[in-house]
Each structure stands twice: as C-alpha cells, then as structure tokens.
Amino acid sequence: MIGVFTTAQVYVLPPMPDNPNDTAFALPGHRVLALQGPDAVRFAHAQFMSDVAGLADGQWQWSGWLTPKGRVLALFALLRLDAQRVWLLLPDADPEALAAQLRRYVFRSKVAIEARPDLAVSGLCAGDARARGAVLGVRGGDALALDLGGDGGMRTILIAPAAGGVAAAPDAVREAAWRATDLAHGLPRLDEAQADRWTPQQLSLERLHAYSVKKGCYPGQEIVARTHFLGQAKRGLALLEGDAPLAAGATVQVGGADAGTLVSAAGTLGLAVLPLERDAAAPLAVGGAAVRERPLLGGLERGRR
C-alpha cells in the first residue's frame, strides 16, 4: 500500500492486494512528447518556463508551457537526455495536440517535435538504483527511470518501448493511489478543463522548482516575473480532504463564502486554489460538505529554480 504522510498523522491510501510494491503497473494517462535536433534544447529553453539550458544532460526537472498571459497550458516533467534530445513526460496533456501547437513556433529552428506512442509509461512503488533525485536512470536504449520519491515514500516512473517488452498491467486502484500521492505532494493534475486557467504561482509551482524568474524570455515570463518580484501572488494551493469523493472544478467555500476552486481531485483528496490570506479558523466546504485542510508533503521538487 502507499502511505501519504502529513505532520498530523498518517493517511493510508487504498490497499493494493495481490500486487507487491515492486511490481510495475501501467500509467496510461502519462505519455511522451519528444523534441529532437540541434536546436532542441534552445527551443525548449525559449518556450518552457524552466531553465532548460542550465539543466545538465541526463537530468530532469518539472516544467510547463504557458500562454502569453502566464496561464499554465501543460505541466510536465522535462527530461534532457542530451544536447539534441528533450522529452516531455505529460501526466495529463494530449501529446499530439501539444505537438501541433508547439510546431507553430519552430520557424527556422532545427527541431522535430513528435509524440511517442511507441513508449509506455508505468509506475513503481519502489526506488531504482539508477535514478536519484533529478538524475535520470538509464536502463538501455529508450528505457529510462525517474525518481518520484518524496516525503510520502519511494516511487519511480519507468519509460520503455511498448513493443517487444512486457507491458505493465493496468491497475485502477494503484493508479488512483498514485494520482492521490501526486496531489498530496502538491503536483497538480490538470485535466483539459483546468488548462489555461491558472498561473504558476496560483498552483504553487515554486514548491516543485518548476519555473524560473532568472532566465530569459519565454511565453508568459513577464507575468510570472512581475508577480514574483512585486509580491503580487494572492492565491496558492491547499490540500483538502473530504469524507466523499471530490471533483475538479468544484467551488470551495471558506466561512460560507465562495473563495476558490478545486483544480485536481483523486478520491477524497483535492488540490484547491485558495486565497493565501484567509481565516485559518473558518470552516471549509465543497458543495456544502465539510472538508479539512491537510499539510502538503515535500520532497518532490527537482532541479533548480
């Protein structure tokens, strides 16, 4: 089973019978988009909100692509395999649609942008000796491992060719627990309805070191930098727990008044964007049902800001 820990007590997500923790299971929502060519790193650095140029070959970091108004279109793990290959591991976004959007900005850059449906992504509730922190674990060929461990315990994402190998079996219970653990660490899972709505600061993505305020221009950079340097962030993420399943998009009430929105949900856990300055004693509710705020877990940040 996967344990989710807070400073107050231990929350144990649903047990996963007949599946030892060292058995991989499919994460079908996770897909890969590849950027390849002499300008792959330069293009990624210019388009995405993290410092791709400062990332070493063989390392990864959280990143995202923003609208010119600084709203998050897609949030992903950015893998710099080498000087000519950058992969985006997309937990939720459609790689084909994202590729089509990105190609509009290639112009004269020598970079090919292609979805990789030939790669399968799976989760492992254990560590991998080759993957540590931001360092990618190379398992041979296009097979890689990412360390997603944090304060909630060890986790590993595996990327491997789907053909010619043994595909990880689907497991709805373990996949749901994986998603809940993402949320508990403050990693928003943005479905299509939540894309293009929130700034990096509203999603508290500084906790994951997912954006840079020091590198050069990228779409939305002016909004991100202004909010950062002028101290204008008014909202951030809060982890909520209810007694019944929560749904993304639901309105959150603070003291009986509408105050925020659930951006992600997994069972009875949800991530909400709420005012940073609010009465800590005021009751919280979603759809009229009481919910409780829980501390976010740490340890999932990668790379540097």
Q: How confident is the model over 82-121, as pLDDT tens digits?
A: 999 999 999 999 999 999 999 999 999 999 999 999 999 9
pLDDT at position 169: 80
pLDDT at position 165: 55
Q: How confident is the model over 175-196, as pLDDT tens digits?
A: 999 999 999 999 999 999 999 9
The span from the CA of 150 to the CA of 111, in Å, is 34
Residue spans per domain, the chain: 3-187, 194-294
Any alpha helices (H) in 120-212, and if so which ranges? 172-184
Tell how many helices (H) and how many strands (E) occur in the chain. 4, 18
DSSP-derived 3-state class of residue 82: strand
The span from the CA of 78 to the CA of 87, in Å, is 6
Contact between residue 119 and residue 95 where contact means Cβ atoms under 8 Å apart: no
Q: How confident is the model over 191-223, as pLDDT tens digits?
A: 999 999 999 999 999 999 999 998 889 999 999
Average pLDDT of 6-21? 42
pLDDT at position 7: 34
Q: Does domain 194-294 have CATH number 3.40.50.620?
A: no
Q: What's the pTM value of the predicted model, to 2 decimals?
A: 0.92
Instruction: Please tell me if the domain spanning 3-187 has the same topology as the one spanning 194-294.
Output: no
Average pLDDT of 58-70? 97
Sign for the CA dihedral angle at 33, 35, 41, 47 comes to: negative
The span from the CA of 66 to the CA of 47, in Å, is 8
Select the CATH number that applies to the domain covering 3-187 from these four: 3.30.1360.120, 1.10.1740.10, 3.40.50.300, 3.40.718.10.
3.30.1360.120
Overall size of the chain counted in residues: 305
- The single residue listed with the structure tokens 């727990």 is 241
The span from the CA of 137 to the CA of 284, in Å, is 42
Residue 267, CA distances (Å) to 11, 150, 175, 245, 248 in order = 13, 20, 11, 5, 11
Q: Write the CB contacts of 208 (distance below 8 Å, at least 6 apart in sequence).
A: 62, 186, 187, 300, 301, 302
Above 90 in pLDDT, residue 167? no
